[in-house]
Structure 1
Amino acid sequence: MDINIQARGFSLTKALRDHAERRLRFALGWADDRLRRISVRLSDENGPRGGEDKRCRIRIAFAGAPSVVIEDTETDVYVAIDRAADRAGRSVARRLERQRNQHRRLLPTLASVESLTWAWR
């Protein structure tokens, strides 16, 4: 799993990078072979004014499918990472389940087309 982490408005410490990687590997490790790239952007929206302004934006690129983008804003950047990683895990599970269900719906259609081609022979 290729994880790219960047911060804007504050320095990205080793502890913060390790926390983000650990949370994403925990939430998305089960789907590692289906994910192409994960980009994490951490930012301080209000700067030194404070408030609920620490944003975590996670973009997950799939092989052959549109990307999923999850954002969360909190007062603490660690909480923003935790919540965004949890939501990312649920979103990826939903996306992959939809792909599986769509494939299952196509199989009976393909089987009926195949039986028609045999009937013409």
Structure 2
Amino acid sequence: MHTNLITRGLVLPQGLREFVDRKLEFALDRFQLSPADVEITLEDINGPRGGQDKRCRLRVGNTKRTRVLIEETGSDLQRVLSRTVDRMEQALAKLHRKHHSRASRQPGRRLAMAADL
């Protein structure tokens, strides 16, 4: 997994990078998306004014062209990151189910059943 973490207008608290890496690795291993390219952009929208001003934008792609883009905003950076990765995992689960439901349909089997009639 290749992770590119971009920050704009804020400083990452100690240990947050490791937290994100562990959470991403767990989520992506579940769906066998290796190698995956992950880009996380963290920015402070309002600067020193405060409020719901932390934005996390996460993009995931791999060689099989799975692409997911998730964006989340909030006041606590760790919560915003955690919610973003959780939403990414839900989106990947949805894509995974969709792919497997298509794969389970077997056109040859339908033709054989129609020929039996």
Q: Quote how far apart the aligned CAs of 1:95 are.
A: 0.5
Q: 1:119 — aligned with what?
A: none
- Distance in 1 separating the partners of 2:96 and 2:34: 9
TM, length-normalised to structure 1 = 0.79
Q: 2:7 — aligned with what?
A: 7
Aligned residue type for 1:39: E
- Distance in 1 separating the partners of 2:14 and 2:52: 23
Q: Could you tell me which runs of 5 or more consecutive residues in structure 2 were left unpaired when the two chains were aligned.
A: 113-117
Q: 2:97 — aligned with what?
A: 97
More helix by share: 1
Q: Quote how far apart the aligned CAs of 1:26 are.
A: 2.7
* SS class of match (2:11): coil
Deviations 1:50-75 (A, max 9, x none): 11011111111133335111111110
C-alpha contact (below 8 Å) 1:6/1:12 kept by paired residues: no
- Distance in 2 separating the partners of 1:47 and 1:55: 12
Q: 1:118 — aligned with what?
A: none
Deviations 1:92-120 (A, max 9, x none): 11111111111222x2x14567x6xxxxx
After superposition, residues 1-121 of structure 1 pair within 5 angstroms as 1-34=1-34, 36-105=36-105, 107=106, 109-111=107-109
TM, length-normalised to structure 2 = 0.81
- Distance in 1 separating the partners of 2:84 and 2:53: 14
C-alpha contact (below 8 Å) 1:56/1:80 kept by paired residues: yes
CA RMSD of aligned residues (A): 2.1
C-alpha contact (below 8 Å) 2:57/2:72 kept by paired residues: yes
Q: Which moved more, 1:81-90 or 1:20-29?
A: 20-29
Number of aligned pairs? 112
- Aligned-residue sequence identity (percent) comes to 32
Q: Could you tell me which runs of 5 or more consecutive residues in structure 1 were left unpaired when the two chains were aligned.
A: 116-121
